[in-house]
Amino acid sequence: MKSGLINHIVVFYIRLCIIYAMGIFPKFVHHDSCNTIYPFILYKRISEQYNNKDILNLVKGLIPYSILKLYYSDQDLKAVLRWFKADFMMWMPEFLKCKKCDSEMDSHVIIGSSWKLRATEIYSCKQCGLEQIFPRYGEIRNIVIARVGRCSEWSMLFGAILNSLSIESRLVHDFLDHCWNESLINGNWLHVDSTLEFPISFNHPHYYEQNWGKKYRDMF
């Protein structure tokens, strides 16, 4: 079992090295992907932030007392998930309409040079000239300030919130354009997706295959 897993990891790593060597890695980059630069650097930095006490104290302080009270009394993530989706974070649509004249906005992406700022999406209106900028942060502190994002920003921040509640959590990226968290609860790694409505957001790992048509071959 262990040797089989090691072989899978080795094969996966070799594939990434070949892709990088051929210079075709950027073809896999999408607006909503978890990263716009080298993934393992980003994930290492996210893991480091999940173990940073100052960051964990910061994100725990975001949770209203009433929500924390419900969590500690029920030992249930329902209230936290609902608060995060409905009251804290805002979703950034991939296609924007101008707030001034309601025209569709053009967009282009500037790839970042660091995991701290993975990319910057710039939206511009041809009709009135209005511009809107969407920075794709890797630093949790900046995501907290912005309070807007797509699945990567949501899962990076919510993973930190879960860890602040002493729920060991990690980031999952399916390389099919979506991210979520997994949390170690009662000895099992459970699916947690703060972008979905509760109860689908908790422990429904087959939701993407059953409802979004995703087809997974390997899971690491």
Domain 31-90+143-211: CATH architecture, name and number where available? Roll (3.10)
Q: Average pLDDT over the chain, rounded to whole?
A: 86
76: DSSP letter: -
121 vs 123: CA distance, rounded Å? 7
Domain boundaries, the chain: 1-29, 31-90+143-211
The tens digit of pLDDT for each residue in 83-128 reads 999 999 999 999 999 999 999 999 999 999 899 999 999 999 999 9
Distance from C-alpha of 121 to C-alpha of 175, rounded to nearest angstrom: 20
Which residues are CB-contacts of 107 (< 8 A; sequence separation ≥ 6)? 95, 96, 121, 122, 123, 124
Q: What is the pLDDT of residue 216?
A: 82
Please list the active-site residues: 151, 178, 193
pLDDT tens sequence across 140-182: 999 999 999 999 999 999 999 999 999 999 999 887 889 999 9
Q: What does the DSSP 8-state code read for residue 28?
A: G
The percent of residues in the chain predicted with pLDDT above 90, rounded, is 72
User: Residues 14-24: what's their mean pLDDT?
Assistant: 45
Tens-digit pLDDT profile for residues 179-199: 999 999 999 999 999 999 999
pTM of the predicted model as reported, rounded to 2 decimal places:
0.82
What is the Cα–Cα distance from 156 to 111, expressed in whole angstroms?
A: 19
